Structure 1
Amino acid sequence: MNIEEFVSEDNHMCNLGQNLFFRIFEPGAIYDLPDNEFNRKIFYWLSQYLVENLREPLDAISKLDIFDQFYVYETWLSLIKCPVEMKNISKRIIQYHIGLRTLL
């Protein structure tokens, strides 16, 4: 997928400034992903995390089969290069899955 598609208005990544985008994301990982409907949904869910709305995406992801859930989280973690963001999102995913949903 090209960067322009990744930062489209459809998935709300367009709200990121260029500096923030390059601080958080690994552009090479974006190019490696196929441009399809499921990946676009994954990007949308990730954009929701970036605006502090993680509960809804995690609820939706938890309804997927286990292989799709793994793909979503693997994709998120491959896209993020910033160690601080990597730590934060990992912590919040774990909190959700061990039942600490009220902290999100």
Structure 2
Amino acid sequence: MTDNQRAAFEAEMRKDLGMPEYVELNWEADYVATAWKYYQAALASPEAQALRKDAERYRFIRPGDATVWCSSGDYPMENENLDAAIDAAMEEQK
């Protein structure tokens, strides 16, 4: 669990339960534990993983830190070809 995930979950739980921020969330409570289990399952879903990968690609090319060059055989690069090229460029920079 990251700090951002925990904070987002706690904010939603507080909103749902009408709890002020100064009251500590009881992580042992059945309702909270069950909600946390489903929250984690949603984050691990294939759909969420695909969205996360797309977001990583966008963040990779957005700042202008990388250029994806198209070879003459792959031009124009669209969809899966472009995704694969971005993934390869991301791996090179690791």
From the CA coordinates, give the structure whose radius of gyration is larger.
2
TM-score when normalising by structure 2: 0.25
Larger proportion of helix: 1
TM-score when normalising by structure 1: 0.24
